Structure 1
C-alpha cells in the first residue's frame, strides 16, 4: 500500500527487437568509408532484417476502493475477534466481529440499532429484529413491533445458537443493521482490529462497489504521448495480469495529469474473484504498462530510409540506386516495419549533417 497519490514514473520502455542472420543490427549495418570533406557521402546503408517493433510506457497505477459507510458500532469494549475477514455479501445473522468475546451480528434493516431491546419495548427496530427471527423460524406469526414474551423466548434460543448466555434480551451493540446484505460489505481496518478499543458510535461497516478505481498520475508531457483508448496491462499483487484501457484525463491543482483506467472488456478491470487483492482502504500501487504502439513483426529498416517523393508513394532506395515502393506497417524509436522488400535488402539511409 502506498502513500496518497504521488507522481510515480517508472520509465519508458521501447521495444525494438531485430533478429538477423548476422550478429544483430549493428553487425548488419554497412557504412561507406568517410569521403573527403568536399565529397562527404550523402548516405549510409543498412540491411533490412526480420524483427519486431513496438513501444510501451511503464508507470505506476493506483488502485483504490470507493467505500460507503453503512453502519456504526454500538458495542463498548475491546475487539477480541474478527469474523468478517474478506469483503463480500453476508447473510442475515452473520457474525462480523466480537467485543469482549461477545459476537456482533449484522441484520437487515433501515433503522440503526440505537438501544438494547427487552420485554415491553416496541418500535420499528423491534419489528426488524422480529422479521429476522421469523425468517430464521425462531418466531412464529407476524412481526408486530412489540417485544413480548414469545419474542423473548425466540431471542433466548437465538442467543444459544450464537454461543452466548441466553438472557432473552438484546444488549446495545449486539446487532448492527444495514439496509441490504446483498452488497459487498467489509470492516474498516483502521477501526476494527483485534485489540482495538471501541467506545460506541464508530463507523465500522463499509460497502464496496464491484471493483476498485484504477488511475495513473503522470506529467503533461507523458500524458500527451499516450493515445486515447490505448491498451494497458496491470500487474496484480498475485502476479496476474489485468487488462485495461486509457480513459478520461484531468489535471489536478499540482499540474499532474490523472488518467482514469477503464475495463478493456466486461464491467471490471480485475476479475471479481481477484479484486479482493486490493485492500479495502487506502491506495495500492501497481505496475502498469501502457502500449503506445503494438508490437509488429516483419522486415525492419531504419525509419530514415523511408522517403516520400512528389507522387506521394512511400519508397526506399536500394544500395545500387534502384527504387522500391514499400508500405509502412509500424514505427517506434527510429525503426519501421515495412512490406514490399525482403529481408536482406540493403537500403540507403540519408546521411545527417
Structure 2
C-alpha cells in the first residue's frame, strides 16, 4: 500500500496553521496581486518594443511631410524613391543681366524751318516718314521736297555762280534722284547742272527755271520722321514748321554712373517691349555728359551725385516692327556677368537649408533620391549655375509649383 503524500500545512503570516478555507482565500489574493503588477519584459520582448516604436516614428515623420524617412539604426537619412518630376543637369553659357527702364523713340531731333515766303497749303501727319525727293510741306500750292546734306542752301543756285559746297550738295541730290545726264558731281555749276535742274522741276510740276531759290527745298542729313507739326495751314512761311527725328528706332536708357562698367559700345542687349515680347539690340552710343539725380530740397547732401546717370542709346536689330509706339516704355537687360560652359539646373530645383546653404535632390536610374549640396553661381532666366558633386545628364527633382 502506497504511503499517502505528505503535505506541509499552510500557515498564516504569524506562523499558525490556517484552515483550508483561509488557505484558499490567500491563494486567490496572490493571483490578483500578480495581475495588478506585471513582470518586467524579457530582453527579447524589449527588442520587439523598440522596433515597433521605430516604425511609429517613421510613420509620424512621413505624415508630417518630411523629405526623408528616419532610419532606426542612427545612420541618418535613408534613400527614398522619387515621386516628383525631374529635370536634367545641363551645361550652358550663363549670362547675368541688370535691367534698366528705358524709352523707345527715334534717333535725333531736328527743327524744320520754312523759308522764302508764301502761305502753307499742305502739312504732313505726325509719324510720317519722308525720304529724299518727297514733299515735306506745301507753299502756295507747290511742293517743297527733301534733299539730303549737311550744308543748307544760303543763296540762289544758278548758272554763272561761283563754286561752292552748296553746289556740290545740289548735284549730289540730283544725281541720286536720277537727273545726272552729262553732269559731273563737283562744286562747279555748269550747263549740265542747269539741264538736270530743269528735268527735275518738270517732274515735280514746278516752273522749269533752271535755278533753285531759298525755300525751294528742305535740307536735312537724311530721311526724317515727323515727330510734331508746329504750324497750321494758312500760316505765313518763315518760322518753325515741324519737329522731326531720324527714322531709326532707338531706345534711350539713363544708366546709373555706378553701373557704367557693364556698358560697352556695340555690346548686345536684351529688350523687353510693351506686351512682354523681347527683341535683341546693340549699344549704339553712350552719352558723355552725366545728369545729376534728384536735387530737390528734401534730398540728402551728396544724393544727387550718387544718383547721377548717363544716357545710353540702344539700336534694335529687328527693323520690321512698325507697331511700336514712339515714347513707349521698355526694359533693357545689360550683360553684367557671363560664365561659359557651366552646370545649370532650374531655379526651383534648389532646396534651401536653415544655415543658408543649398542642395538638390539627385535621382538615380533606379529612382532613388540622394541630396547633394551645391554652391550657386549666376542666375539667367529660370536657370541657375551650380557647382558640386554633379555631372551633366544627371536628373534632379523639381517640386511641383
TM-score normalized by structure 2?
Answer: 0.45
Q: Which has the larger radius of gyration?
A: 2
TM-score normalized by structure 1?
Answer: 0.50
* Greater RCO (Cα-Cα under 8 Å, separation 6 or more): 1
Report the structure, 1 or 2, having the larger helix content.
2
